[in-house]
Every structure is written in C-alpha cells, then in structure tokens.
C-alpha cells in the first residue's frame, strides 16, 4: 500500500460522534491527524450503530452519513476469510476477541496495514501476519 490508510475501530468512531463521550475531544484530534478514508469492517459499523442508538435515535444515521462523506471504506468481505477468522478466535479465545477485532486483524493482513485508530488496549496484544505488532495511532502522530 503506497499511502497511509489506517484501520478504524469502534471506539474512536463512537467518541467522534457522541459529544458526551469522555474521549470525544481526543477522537476529534485523532481524526484530524489521519487521511480519509480509513479502512474498517461491517462489524465495526454494526457495533458503532448499536452503541450510538443508545445515545439517540439519529445515532446510527450519523454512522451511515460518515460513510457517505467518505470517512471510511469497507473494502473486505469475510466471505473467504472464515478459516482465518476461526484461527483468530482459537488463538485469542482466552481474551474473548470480538468479531470486529478479528475482522480488523484480517483487514490488516489483507492490506498490510499496521496503523489503527483504537482505544482498545487489546490491539497491543493482537498480532497480524505471522507476529507483527499493530501501530496504535495516538497523539501526536
């Protein structure tokens, strides 16, 4: 991949759109540092919609509008990735890995992209490829 196109996890997306989130300002700063579109997966979008629905009825619509505006892309279907997903659930089963986290690991492998916007400390433990660390985008980037 010739340019930085970071991965996007649920936490920063929710914090960006929920002004009452304790990490809202941090999320705004992080999103201001990275070029759009970010790479994500349907599981992240589903989680974000679920969490923002609790904030208000328009929350899920805001997630969709961010996709329309080009904040993120969903470049990968899990079809064809089931064996790898199974491997990840077996490998990280003691950590109760989520479908979104496993999907982001697969996305990192497919696009050789170690950079991720996340507030999830599990990405300090997760590895992509054979044993490659994620680079968690923090301030300053």
Domains of the chain: 7-136 (3.40.50.1010)
Task: Render each residue's pLDDT in the chain as its tens digit; 141 residues.
Answer: 446 799 999 999 999 999 999 999 999 999 998 999 999 999 999 999 999 998 888 889 999 999 999 999 999 999 999 999 999 999 998 988 999 999 999 999 999 999 999 999 999 999 999 899 999 998 654
At 140, give phi and psi (nearest 5°).
-80, 150
CB 117 within 8 A of CB 6: yes
CB 110 within 8 A of CB 5: no
């Amino acid at each position: 991949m010739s340019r930085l196109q970071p991965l996007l996890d649920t936490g920063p997306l929710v914090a960006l759109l929920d002004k009452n989130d304790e990490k809202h300002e941090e999320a705004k700063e992080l999103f201001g540092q990275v070029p759009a579109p970010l790479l994500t997966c349907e599981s992240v979008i589903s989680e974000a919609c679920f969490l923002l629905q609790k904030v208000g009825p328009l929350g899920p619509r805001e997630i969709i509008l961010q996709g329309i505006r080009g904040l993120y892309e969903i470049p990968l279907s899990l079809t064809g990735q089931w064996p790898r997903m199974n491997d990840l659930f077996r490998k990280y089963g003691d950590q109760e890995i989520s479908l979104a986290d496993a999907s982001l690991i697969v996305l990192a492998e497919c696009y050789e992209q170690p950079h991720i916007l996340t507030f999830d400390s599990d990405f300090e433990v997760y590895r992509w490829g054979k044993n490659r660390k994620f680079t968690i985008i923090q301030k300053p980037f």
